[in-house]
Amino acid sequence: MAFESLNTLITRAGQVTRNRNTGGITLATDRQNPKQPGDEVRYTLRLDISAEVAKQARLIMGDRVDILIDRESRKMMLKRVHDGGWKLARSGGGGNLKIQVRYLEGMPSVPVSAACSSVQLTDDGVVFNVPKSARFDINARKERDEEPKQTEIAA
């Protein structure tokens, strides 16, 4: 007998799981199904920021931040800006924040939500490592979505 987590089954089925912020910053690539027949599937890059990190960085809902990426060092930075950038939104309760950006090639992408490591506050902003599972060359979530599921393999 072997036990299998329901989270594994839900993830394999392509369903969204409840956001579980790990106390730092979490990177996710989300799938948005078409609203109208004939529309294409869209993907977004989402960064979830825990209440603890937001408080330390003095970030609040409505602040604007730019997202900077260094592909070579696999680091990202959230930098507060006055013009442009993306607006921080509430993510669930407890002071968690999030940023969602339409996914474009060259952005980091993960097959499933993953915690970012080495979150550091600097004079320039919040710097953190991109998860090891992240890819910059392809949309890892789209690739996972297109893999045949277990039921298709068995048929």
* pLDDT (tens digit per residue) in 92-140: 878 899 999 988 888 898 988 899 999 999 999 999 999 998 888 888 8
List of residues 6+ apart from 27 with CB closer than 8 A: 45, 46, 47, 108, 110, 113, 114, 115, 116, 130, 131, 134
Mean predicted lDDT score pLDDT of the chain: 82
Question: Per-domain residue ranges for the chain?
Answer: 19-33+40-140
pTM reported for the whole predicted model: 0.76
